[in-house]
Amino acid sequence: MRNSPPRKGVAQRLQDAAARLAAAHQGRERFGPLPSPLAPRTAEDAYAIQDEFVALLARTRGAIAGYKIALSSAEMQRFVGLDTPLAGVMLESTLHRTPARVRAADYARLIVEFELAVQIAVDLPGADAPYTRDDVAAAIGAVMPALEIADDRNADYTELARHPFDLIADNCWNEGAVLGVPIERWREIDLAVARGVATINGRAVGEGVGAAALGHPLDAVAWVANHLAAHGRGLVFRDVVITGSIITSKFPRAGDLVEFSLENLGKVELRVD
């Protein structure tokens, strides 16, 4: 994500890096750092590669339909060797409504995360940044539970801190999301204390509250809006933002039924074939 086009030589490197990522995904290769000549050198460099990679994916997956925030807790940031959350892009065909199904065979290693999602009802242009929690609250039309679908491609998590920018370049592993029924009367609910419970095949596998996402889910939305603004972009009508997992990631297998309920906000489910 950048403000101005890069020089021709730089542009070619970004395109080559994106093509290498696309090939790695297509071949179900294990996640690892890009080759040295293509590897991102800074966070901004990594987001520029992400742009190119997302553009390649959009050819078959459709237009940008929303965003994710990754590393929404200080603990996860330290684990990866960064001091800030990360942003990823979600494309139109990868957003599903509950109940949804995916095939385990379509991923190197499927990950599911348990999140609160918001749908934007009023544009938040970059020119009006910075945004606060109250600012984004006024622009949100609906809130719902969500399951993020991701693929870590069998990453060695002990190595992430050595190459943290590669996670950005790889679109933070996002492969879409399953969205619950939109709740328009969400302002009556205290999202920070809303309790979420995750189950797999009916067995509880974790629980958490909304505040686990950057202190408050709407602070996560504000962070995404300000991140986009810093790169000359903004959230727009109908964009969906998933605000960070409030429960530790799970690795479902074929045959599993994953369910996530959020207090007063309903339930979302995903069947893995």
Cα angle 153-116-76, degrees, rounded to a multiple of 5: 50
- When pLDDT is averaged across residues 133-148 and rounded to a whole number, the result is 98
- When pLDDT is averaged across residues 69-79 and rounded to a whole number, the result is 80
Residue 34 reports pLDDT greater than 50: yes
- When pLDDT is averaged across residues 54-71 and rounded to a whole number, the result is 97
* Amino acid, res. 174: N
- When pLDDT is averaged across residues 94-123 and rounded to a whole number, the result is 97
Predicted TM-score (pTM) of the model is 0.94
Distances (CA, A) of 141 to 59, 116, 129, 171, 227: 29, 14, 19, 26, 21
Extents of the domains making up the chain: 63-272
Residue 48 reports pLDDT greater than 70: yes
Confidence of residue 78 (pLDDT cuts 50, 70, 90): confident
Q: What is the pLDDT of residue 8?
A: 55
Residue 273 reports pLDDT greater than 80: yes
- When pLDDT is averaged across residues 1-26 and rounded to a whole number, the result is 81
Q: pLDDT tens digits for 144-202?
A: 999 999 999 999 999 988 998 999 999 999 999 999 999 999 999 999 999 999 999 99
Q: What is the pLDDT of residue 172?
A: 96
Query: What is the average pLDDT score of the chain?
Result: 94
Confidence of residue 16 (pLDDT cuts 50, 70, 90): very high
What is the distance between the alpha carbons of residues 145 and 268, in angstroms, rounded to a whole number? 6
Residue 209 reports pLDDT greater than 60: yes
Sequence-separated (6 or more) residues with CB below 8 Å from residue 193: 209, 210, 211
Q: What is the pLDDT of residue 76?
A: 73
Order of all β-strands in the sheet with 257-262 = 100-102, 266-272, 257-262, 195-200, 203-209
Confidence of residue 1 (pLDDT cuts 50, 70, 90): very low
Q: What is the pLDDT of residue 265?
A: 97
pLDDT cut 70: percent of the chain above it: 97
Tokens 């190197």: give the residue: 108
* 134 φ/ψ angles, rounded to the nearest 5 degrees: -65, -40
Q: What is the pLDDT of residue 21?
A: 98
User: Architecture of domain 63-272 in CATH?
Assistant: Alpha-Beta Complex (3.90)
- When pLDDT is averaged across residues 101-127 and rounded to a whole number, the result is 97
